[in-house]
Structure 1
């Protein structure tokens, strides 16, 4: 009896029995790499013109922790100014004041505070407004006018344009400095001018406004982020905004709307608080908390949703919210050539043999070649391909060159490889489980969401990849690999004749040397001719070949180089 094989291409590309437990533990690790490949053309005189340099700068995907509030400071707040009445604003030289007088005398004008701090009103004279608070503006002007006009005179005055003030923004921001704005601008606008809070060590909850070296206000931006609350503060020239360091925080992941790093504080103390802030989904039933205590002990605890309010959070805790339902039944989808239901619900533990008996077959159903596709297998295949692509990207961009000519060739090859990597990232593995013998149906235990495909009893052979005329050809008994390659017009100039894949309906893949191996072909088989890998770097060659195999087997498609 033959074993059941998962279609997974391991680094050694072994087609055969695979230990599923080892595959389940395989994970693609993120690599943080930034590499530049330079190709410089040098002329015979040793000159190195800058305009002839060819640069390739690639940043691989960085792995980082997402921080709650990271979207707040993106430059949008720096584009706007808000002219809001500020009663504490003190008039300065250059301010423009709208003055209206009516009654015994009519006067209306916009007056500018001159270099001596005065405005001048005809028949009244100079009125000193330097340092006068906005709230006292009308009172000061009225008092001066009443010295000339004793009665029946009414006065109205307001600031036409506020002068910019300068505010220091410092602490844990990306660009500390002195920034101009209006006194009525919000603290968010000033921090945005400083390129926002440093996400690595800056705090969104510990922000202070200092005036004359004294703290006059404390700000918690979580009030704005969570509830939209923002208390406007009248700034003065010379004020200091000090962003503190992040102190106690927890990490949240799982079935939540906001999987971020959150700072603990007055509004976040326990699991119930963080569940509300992170927006747990309705399906959540429990939480797993990994807590790093000061005694160097790692505590891992699970809590029911009813216990959330009783569980206190500590700095550095990792919280995962998740559903934990015990299902007795699973849902299976049945596709392909049959006359029965397309979706069935069966008991957990049901095998492929059990479901095969439920399928209503017709004359075209190949019930002895059932195909099973599984999401978890597709994810493993995707992770393996992604890991190989990361390694290939690093190899392509870090290859050394002995001279300028070789550097130019390497740079061109690197571009080609990077284009290939981008296309390879878009592939979607099928996640097929290889079942090479109908007698193994009874040992295939189905999982929720599995797709079972009933193949058609077709008499076709698919030939694709590097051949002259890819297509589907009628199966002819006792004909071999060479026969179908010739039907497809023979190998193309880019074909890697030594590496030809034949994939059966069952998903089993076999590798052949197309120069002399005349393998027998069965109805329903797919013949995949892979492209040549053109590179002098043996490591890159091996990695590219490996990836082409992986993609071909996982998707049943040849990816062009």
Structure 2
């Protein structure tokens, strides 16, 4: 019969403790943000009264909490067990807010699993490639032959035919011309590339995962770079990538040509070729009222804001640009209208913000 009144006393006591705590916390926070009464006698008196008010009589706790419970003891008694506390750690990845290097978006795995076509006309045939040859009419023959280390395929009654170094689009004419020297008429010839040779290529320099990567001879340089994790955006160059064979550079790749103009020169890889990503060149940052907010890399001495605006593509309402640049320990800021800024030079480390002023010919200060 005494259990129900006892539970009411417990609830009332806890409610009084919680009310007193809330009032104390709210008062303290309000004083803090208003800056009133810190270190004064009035404040000390208020704190003394609050301390005396937070002692709560909890006789009904039957030994679980002392007869005169402090605020912390009352809170502990009313709180959930520690294992019931909700874990507020977010399982999400933080969003990157720093400026991204232009070109970094290329390497997200799209090229790493894509093999180049062996049937494009510009592909250059290499030793190890498989070539299919069919002959019909007065002489019949059909076979798939592997290009030997000397670069030849061997045709019965015709002999070796050199096809290494021949572009795929010219393969038919090369084989037909060789056969026609023996069979002048009544023999048809068809030759096609069946399969390109698998190769392994070194990818090194400033990439995320340098290594020795397999692919096809017709795979693009983008495929091999993507397999190596892509260019390191903090240290590597997107505009100076070299393809070397036996120590000699055969091709230099500028990925900005691909990103901005869709240009990527074809290359036939061989075993042991080396792709080297050079160190990062000079950079500038552009942000604000532009479609391409990135850090860009450059390696010319006559870059201007006009060039920057061409690649960053300002919004229709953009009117001005501000430039912040470092000169030793000092920083300088310049402000131009877009028309005035066309020939202003850009230097390594410059930061440009394109803005849209509400009133032409004026600048706003905050």
TM range (shorter): 0.5 to 0.7
Q: Does the residue aligned with 1:91 lie in a helix, a strand or coil?
A: coil
Provide Cα deviations, 1:242-266, integer angstroms capped at 9, x if missing partner: 1111121011121222221111245
Q: Does the residue aligned with 1:222 lie in a helix, a strand or coil?
A: helix
1:290 Cα offset (Å): 0.7
**1:297 and 2:333 equivalent?**
no
Aligned equivalent of 2:245, options 206, 211, 230: 211
**1:444-523 matched pairs, under 5 angstroms:** none
**1:19-30 matched pairs, under 5 angstroms:** none
Aligned to 2:341: 308
Give distance in 2, aligned partners of 1:237 and 1:196.
20
Say which is worse superposed, 153-162 or 265-274, in terms of deviation.
265-274
Give distance in 1, aligned partners of 2:277 and 2:287.
27
Provide Cα deviations, 1:348-372, integer angstroms capped at 9, x if missing partner: xxxxxxxxxxxxxxxxxxxxxxxxx
Give distance in 2, aligned partners of 1:114 and 1:89.
8
1:213 Cα offset (Å): 1.2
Q: Does the residue aligned with 1:78 lie in a helix, a strand or coil?
A: coil
Give distance in 2, aligned partners of 1:308 and 1:79.
44
Q: Does the residue aligned with 2:112 lie in a helix, a strand or coil?
A: helix
Give distance in 2, aligned partners of 1:191 and 1:205.
13
**1:238-253 matched pairs, under 5 angstroms:** 238-253=272-287
Give distance in 1, aligned partners of 2:306 and 2:114.
38
Aligned to 2:165: 133
Point out where structure 1 has 5 or more consecutive residues left out of the alignment. 1-8, 19-53, 328-561
Aligned equivalent of 1:91, options 127, 130, 140: 127
Q: Does the residue aligned with 1:311 lie in a helix, a strand or coil?
A: coil
Aligned to 1:320: 353
1:313 Cα offset (Å): 0.6
Change (3 A) 1:274 1:161: same
Provide Cα deviations, 1:448-474, integer angstroms capped at 9, x if missing partner: xxxxxxxxxxxxxxxxxxxxxxxxxxx
Aligned to 1:222: 256
Give distance in 1, aligned partners of 2:338 and 2:345.
14
Q: Does the residue aligned with 1:198 lie in a helix, a strand or coil?
A: coil
1:197 Cα offset (Å): 0.7
1:166 Cα offset (Å): 1.9
1:143 Cα offset (Å): 7.0
Point out where structure 2 has 5 or more consecutive residues left out of the alignment. 1-25, 36-86, 361-366
1:72 Cα offset (Å): 0.8
Aligned to 2:145: 112
**1:546-557 matched pairs, under 5 angstroms:** none
Tell me, yes or no, if the aligned pair for 1:164 and 1:182 is still in contact at 8 Å: yes
Change (3 A) 1:219 1:96: closer
1:144 Cα offset (Å): 6.5
The alignment covers a number of residue pairs equal to 276
| TM-score (normalizing by structure 1) | 0.44
Q: Does the residue aligned with 1:185 lie in a helix, a strand or coil?
A: coil
Give distance in 1, aligned partners of 2:224 and 2:131.
26
Give distance in 2, aligned partners of 1:229 and 1:76.
18
| TM-score (normalizing by structure 2) | 0.65
Give distance in 2, aligned partners of 1:305 and 1:147.
68
